[in-house]
Amino acid sequence: MGNFGASIEGLDAVRAKLGSLAGIFEWQLGNSLLAEGREILDAAKAAVPVDSGELRDSGSVSLLETNGSVLSVTVSFGEGRSAAYAAAVHETPSAYDPPSWKATPPHFSQGGPKYLERPLLAASNGMAERIAAKILPK
């Protein structure tokens, strides 16, 4: 029986190319995750109760964050003093309700509680597949 041997020349160049591809992959993954966050925010803004519009307008998607091997974005409503109000509206009826709501619970003519949770849960179905479709070659 004969022997077979193979060698690869330029392995350093191959490693460098693979390293640059990893960076491109991470960039595409991050952009896809940000796009998902924006879609969730859009759906949540359509579901948030509107009085003055301040709560709706406070919705935001964070910049992409990297922590070790974890990429993340945060979709949120309310900042600073309005954070408590955002939580109260999202969770009502709950312990977060202001005392005035206990006597007269709020009535929302548009949107209502769980304005962020419902769109997030809906988007979680198929999210991995949507992201994969955006970053993997067809």
The more confident residue out of 64 and 122 is 122
- How many domains does the chain fold into? 1
26: in domain? no
Q: Average pLDDT, stretch 36-61?
A: 90
132: in domain? no
75: in domain? yes
Does the structure show a pLDDT above 70 at 11? no
- Which domain does 80 fall in, by range? 37-126
Cβ distance 117 to 90 under 8 Å? yes
62: in domain? yes
User: Tokens representing 26?
Assistant: 């991470």
Cβ distance 47 to 119 under 8 Å? yes
122: in domain? yes
Residue 9 has a pLDDT of 64
Does the structure show a pLDDT above 70 at 2? no
Alpha carbons 33 and 24: distance in angstroms, whole number? 14
101: in domain? yes
Does the structure show a pLDDT above 70 at 100? yes
The more confident residue out of 79 and 44 is 44
56: in domain? yes
24: in domain? no
Does a cis peptide bond (omega within 30 degrees of 0) precede residue 98? no
- Over the chain, what is the mean pLDDT? 81
Q: What percent of the chain has a predicted confidence (pLDDT) above 70? A: 88
